[in-house]
Every structure is written in structure tokens, then in C-alpha cells.
Amino acid sequence: MKTMRIMKTILLAIFAFSTLTAFADDVKQPNSYNYVQGVTALNQGNYDEALEYLNKEISEYPQNGYAYLALGVLYIGKEQPVEALANSNFAKLPRL
């Protein structure tokens, strides 16, 4: 359980850091409907709804690294570390 907390903290920190640096450097995050709805649902703790939207986002925009990163955070919240790491590995974010 302690390992799970550490992983969750690390992934949340990466997500927060990438989000903040993206805004700081004027790198635009995707603002597509599915991505925005997925992240909103994730922030509200609605994991199943977030999963649906984020999977749709990845189907339409497979290059969206932010969606994969959000899925990683989602799976940590669902206590599924293997899926969290797998999705985080696909998270290709723009270089700063």
C-alpha cells in the first residue's frame, strides 16, 4: 500500500509539473472535447467516466501524450499500477 501511495504521488507530480510547465512556456495542451471532459471527470473522481472520454481521445488523437498521462493518473487512482505505468510510458509530451 505504501508503494501505491508513492507511485500515485510521483505520477500526480509529473502530471502537475507537465501541466504547469506547458502553461508557463505557452505550449498548448489539447483542448478537444473528449480530453477536457476526461480530465474534468478525473479531477472529480469519476474514473469510469474519465476512462471513457480519455479512451475516445486516444482513439481520435493517438499522439496526445497528455491523454496517456491522465490515464496513468486515473489507473493509479483505481489502484492498477501496471496499467498506470503502461499508459505513462506512452505519454509523449512536447519538449520544453
User: Per the structure block, which three cell numbers stand in for 33?
Assistant: 472535447
Asked if residue 95 belongs to a domain, the reply is no
Mean per-residue pLDDT for 11-19? 61
What is the rounded distance in angstroms from the CA atom of residue 51 to the CA atom of residue 84? 12
What is the rounded distance in angstroms from the CA atom of residue 9 to the CA atom of residue 84? 12
Asked if residue 50 belongs to a domain, the reply is yes
Model's pTM, two decimal places? 0.69
Between residues 21 and 92, the one the model is more confident about:
92
Asked if residue 94 belongs to a domain, the reply is no
Number of domains in the chain: 1
Domain extent for 65: 2-89
Q: Is pLDDT of 36 > 90?
A: yes
Among 10-24, 36-50, 51-65, the minimum mean pLDDT is found in 10-24
For residue 68, what is the domain's CATH number? 1.25.40.10
Asked if residue 39 belongs to a domain, the reply is yes
Between residues 28 and 69, the one the model is more confident about:
69
